[in-house]
A and B are shown apart, each in its own frame.
Chain A
Amino acid sequence: LAKTTQPISMDSYEGQEVNITCSHNNIATNDYITWYQQFPSQGPRFIIQGYKTKVTNEVASLFIPADRKSSTLSLPRVSLSDTAVYYCLVGGLGGSSNTGKLIFGQGTTLQVKP
C-alpha cells in the first residue's frame, strides 16, 4: 500500500498561494492521487485528482513530478474559509496497491490568518 506523508500543519495569510506536498514513495503504476478537504465535523470533500504532470480545476492545481513519488496541492489566493484539514490519498483500480483499502494519512491542518 502506498503510504503518504504530509506536513502536520501549515499557516498562511489571506491572499497567499499555499502549496502542500505529499510524499508517496511506493506509489504503484495504477494509483491515482486525490486530495480531499475536511472541515470540522464534516465529511471530507473532493478537491482534485491526478495521475501525472499537472491538473487544474476551478479551486486548485495538482503538480505531480515524473517519478510520481510526491505531489503538491496548490491553493491560489487562500481565504479564511480555506482553513481546513487537507488529505492526500493514493489508490486506484487494479494494480498491486488496489486491495480496496483507501487509507488516509494524518492530513495537513491549514490555518489561514487574516
Chain B
Amino acid sequence: DSGVTQTPKHLITATGQRVTLRCSPRSGDLSVYWYQQSLDQGLQFLIHYYNGEERAKGNILERFSAQQFPDLHSELNLSSLELGDSALYFCASSVGMGVTNTGELFFGEGSRLTVL
C-alpha cells in the first residue's frame, strides 16, 4: 500500500460525458502528479500541483482540468469524453516538488476509465 488513494477504481461512461477522478496523497506529501496510461502505452504526464498551486503541465487536453485543494487532495476533471480517453489515470505524490534525494514518487492504484 503506497498510501495514495484514488477513487473510483473503475468508471464506465459514455462519450460526451464528464467525470471527476479523485486523489488523496500520502500524509505529508505536498506534490500531486497526474498521469494517463492508455492500453499498452507508457505513462503520459498530465499535470503537477504543489501545495495547491499548479507547477507544470504536460500534454493535458483542454477538455481536462485539475486542481489541488487546501487539504491537498486533488481532482482531475475530464469533460466531453471521447473513446480515446479510455485509459488508466494514475495519481502520484511526493514530499517535494520533484524527485528528492530521500525517495520517490508514490503511485496510487489508478482509476480505470472506460468510455463507450
At the interface, is chain A mostly helix, strand, loop or mixed? Answer: loop
**Nearest-Cβ distance from residue A68 to partner chain B, whole angstroms:** 14
Residues of A participating in the B interface, judged by any CB pair closer than 8 Å = 31-32, 34, 36, 41-46, 49, 51, 87, 89-93, 98-107
Contact string against A for B residues 1-41, beta-carbon threshold 8 Å, 1 for contact and 0 otherwise: 01010000000000000000000000000000101000000
* Contact in complex: B101, A51 (CB < 8 Å): yes
A101-B58, A104-B42 known; A46 vs B104 contact (CB < 8 Å): yes
**Nearest-Cβ distance from residue B102 to partner chain A, whole angstroms:** 9
Number of interface residues of B (CB under 8 A): 31
Q: Count of A-B contacts with CB under 8 A?
A: 86
Residues of B participating in the A interface, judged by any CB pair closer than 8 Å = 2, 4, 33, 35, 42-43, 45, 48, 50, 55-58, 88, 90, 92, 96-101, 103-110, 112
